Amino acid sequence: MNDKATASQAERKRGEGVKFVYDILRDDILDLVLPPGSPIDEVQLAERLSMSRTPIREALVRLAGEGLVTTLPNRSTVVSNIDFLNLHTFFDAMTLMYRVTTRLAAQARTAADLETIRARQQEFARAVETHDALAMIAANRDFHAAIAEAGRNPYYTGLFCRLLDEGRRILRIYYSSFDDHLPHRYVVEHEDIIAAIEARDVEAADRLASAHADQIVRQIQEMIARDRRQQIAL
């Protein structure tokens, strides 16, 4: 093997290591295994994953770029806090993406798209039935991402997927408020959205997606307000 091939293999191996660390940390952060404010110890992480600190540092740089970790002045790294004060801007963007991507899916979907969307919905329904919160969050993300893919606009898909990922921490807190027993109406609402997309009913798809997003946002806002009142009462 020549030097160029060896260097390319080493670069690929390092890139795989960075992705490995990134995926683990990102899932732990988004699923609240690592709560907001938790310190991330590079040395401990390197020992746990049996790798050098270089891919860990590169993964942390990537996570920092997504706003999931924060580097403090003393160069230590912690999981970023959730910005509850500015959640309204996140909710505005999320609601708009629900509507836009569902409208486009109703216009552009193919039979193959519907098959994928239904498969993701089955995964979501199973997770709701078994009260598996982390599976619900992942399946919900994949369901709406599949709808976005069916809309054939990669810019909307990319933005929506990032919003869905960022919202996983909020959803985890939200599902906890139900003791991970999510009301069945969310499964039904997904089915109604699929029916509108299949019928190519753009206006119905928009209306259903908007209502779906609005009620989730409203209930999360009520949950946060309730928690704040309880804290004040204490």
Structural domains of the chain, count: 2
Residues 88 and 75 in one domain: no
pLDDT of residue 1: 54
pLDDT of residue 223: 83
Residues 134 and 212 in one domain: yes
Residues 103 and 53 in one domain: no
Residues 55 and 120 in one domain: no
Residue numbers in the chain where pLDDT is lower than 70:
1-14, 227-234
Residues 55 and 140 in one domain: no
What is the distance between the alpha carbons of residues 195 and 85, in angstroms, rounded to a whole number? 36
Concatenated DSSP letters of 96-127: HHHHHHHHHHHHH--HHHHHHHHHHHHHHHHH
Pair 95, 60: CB distance under 8 Å: no
What is the distance between the alpha carbons of residues 119 and 61, in angstroms, rounded to a whole number? 34
**End-to-end CA gap in the chain:** 68
Q: Where are the alpha helices (DSSP H) in the chain?
A: 3-30, 42-49, 53-65, 87-108, 111-130, 133-150, 154-166, 168-177, 185-198, 202-233
**What digits encode the pLDDT tens for the residues 190-226?**
999 999 999 999 999 999 999 999 998 998 888 888 7
Chosen domain end from 37, 57, 79 = 79
Residues 142 and 74 in one domain: no
φ and ψ at 99, to 5 degrees?
Answer: -70, -50
What is the distance between the alpha carbons of residues 19 and 15, in angstroms, rounded to a whole number? 6
pLDDT of residue 6: 46
Residues 97 and 130 in one domain: yes
Chosen domain end from 62, 79, 96 = 79
Can you give the residue range of the structural domain that contains 33? 3-79
Q: What is the pTM of this model?
A: 0.81
Give the dihedral sign, CA 84/85/88/93. Answer: negative
Residues 72 and 91 in one domain: no
Pair 190, 128: CB distance under 8 Å: no
pLDDT of residue 225: 81
Q: Please report, for the domain that includes residue 27, its CATH number.
A: 1.10.10.10
Q: Please report, for the domain that includes residue 188, its CATH number.
A: 1.20.120.530
Residues 95 and 54 in one domain: no
Residues 68 and 88 in one domain: no
